[in-house]
Amino acid sequence: MSETATPWLLEVRHLRKSFPIRRGFSRRLVGEVRAVDDVSFTIREGETLGLVGESGCGKTTTARCILRAMTPTSGEMLFRAADGRIVDLSLLSRAELRPLRPQIQMIFQDPFGSLNPRMTIFDNVGEPLLVNGLRNRRARLERVAALLELTGLRAEYLHRFPHAFSGGQRQRIGIARALATEPRLVVADEPVSALDVSVQAQVLNLLLELQTRLSLTFLFVAHDLSVVKHISDRVAVMYVGQIVELATTEAIFRHPRHPYTAALMRAVPAPDPHTPSGDAALAGEVANPANPPPGCYFHPRCPFTTEVCRTERPFLRAIGAGHLVRCHRAEELALTGAC
């Protein structure tokens, strides 16, 4: 693969998002939750970057910042627009963002909450087209019908309402809506976690096929490692607002270099009674992002903690070609992956 030759589509640099904690009658500031704490990564054109972590690790906040559903506290988000310009999404005003919005779209987690129940499928999927200037109803009908067929639904369903569809079908409708404006970057936030196993496989396959056909770029946010492994070219693992490891899917699953990544893989129960898993479960709980521990955020739960981990904060550094890790002891540890 000519990975270095493909230009990047999105480059996130030192992204931070903190939420103030206010107490009392005067709402005085007593602290802050650092939900996203110095996150940097790039997404190349046509690739899928998986962003994985447990709840509260900041993966969804990162995704929302990129969509500018939230304004980041600091940092840059450079996006290569369709006309070749490079813009910093974090600096743009609402009006300046509007022409860019069709290029960055989102697939939501909940197929029940993300479609308007009072609108037909045609109106749900067609709304982004209408907003972006496709006023002609007949043209819109044709486009929506094509989108439905693209996502594996029959065009005669156009005038039905969302309640007539199953979870998997609704997720297909959500995907059709996200693709309506021909986006270049699609942010998918847990798109299959609300679906049943037999339907989950169908939607994952659909996303893989669509990516090849339409040369889409995905930021795929999920908590399920096996799903992330299945769909991603590269994977970033987050813990308490920071990326702790980033590498190609192959490298990270075969040779994880961060103890948290390795523990996350071991914790997934194997669907095979002869492969016992979970015996070396991580002790303790995820650190509080409002009051993170000194040194490495992971050190209270890490089985390899030494003195330096308790006092010094590790930086995200390269440990091999394109393999980044935030651990003082990454070189000496021999961790086992899941391959």
Instruction: Pick between residue 146 and residue 270 the one whose CB is nearest to other proteins.
Output: 270
Shortest separation between residue 86's beta carbon and other proteins, angstroms: 28
Shortest separation between residue 213's beta carbon and other proteins, angstroms: 13
Using CB under 8 A as the binding rule, whether residue 255 contacts other proteins is answered as no
Among 60, 61, 151, 232, binds other proteins (CB under 8 A): 232
Which residue shows structure tokens 């969509």?
67
Instruction: Pick between residue 90 and residue 261 the one whose CB is nearest to other proteins.
Output: 261
Instruction: Pick between residue 96 and residue 209 the one whose CB is nearest to other proteins.
Output: 209
Using CB under 8 A as the binding rule, whether residue 1 contacts other proteins is answered as no
Among 32, 54, 110, 123, binds other proteins (CB under 8 A): 54
Q: Within the chain, what is the greatest distance between any pair of CA atoms?
A: 69
Using CB under 8 A as the binding rule, whether residue 169 contacts other proteins is answered as yes
Among 70, 78, 204, 214, binds other proteins (CB under 8 A): 204
Using CB under 8 A as the binding rule, whether residue 5 contacts other proteins is answered as no
Near other proteins in 11-40, by CB under 8 A: none
Using CB under 8 A as the binding rule, whether residue 59 contacts other proteins is answered as no
> Cβ contacts of residue 336 below 8 Å, gap of 6+?
256, 262
Beta bridge partners of 331: none
Q: Please provide the distance, in angstroms rounded to a whole number, between the alpha carbons at the two ends of the chain.
A: 21
CA–centroid distance for 313 within its chain: 25
What phi and psi values does residue 195 have, to the nearest 5 degrees? -105, 155
Near other proteins in 170-199, by CB under 8 A: 196-199
Shortest separation between residue 194's beta carbon and other proteins, angstroms: 10
DSSP 275: S
Selected range binding other proteins among 64-72, 81-89, 117-125, 264-272, rule: CB under 8 A: 264-272
CB 290 within 8 A of CB 32: yes
C-alpha span between 194 and 180 (Å, rounded): 23
Residue type, 136: N
Closest CA to 104 of 126, 127, 76, 82: 82
Using CB under 8 A as the binding rule, whether residue 150 contacts other proteins is answered as no
Among 39, 63, 125, 231, binds other proteins (CB under 8 A): 231
C-alpha span between 62 and 15 (Å, rounded): 8
CA–centroid distance for 116 within its chain: 23
Using CB under 8 A as the binding rule, whether residue 214 contacts other proteins is answered as no
Strand ranges of the sheet holding 323-325, from the earlier edge strand across to the other edge:
104-107, 185-189, 217-222, 48-52, 234-239, 242-248, 323-325, 317-320
Going along 137-216, which residue ranges are E strands?
185-189
Near other proteins in 265-304, by CB under 8 A: 265-279, 281-283, 285-286
Among 36, 115, 264, 327, binds other proteins (CB under 8 A): 264
Shortest separation between residue 209's beta carbon and other proteins, angstroms: 8
Interface with other proteins by CB under 8 A: which residues?
A: 54-55, 166-169, 196-202, 204-205, 208-209, 223-227, 229-233, 249-250, 253, 263-279, 281-283, 285-286, 338-339
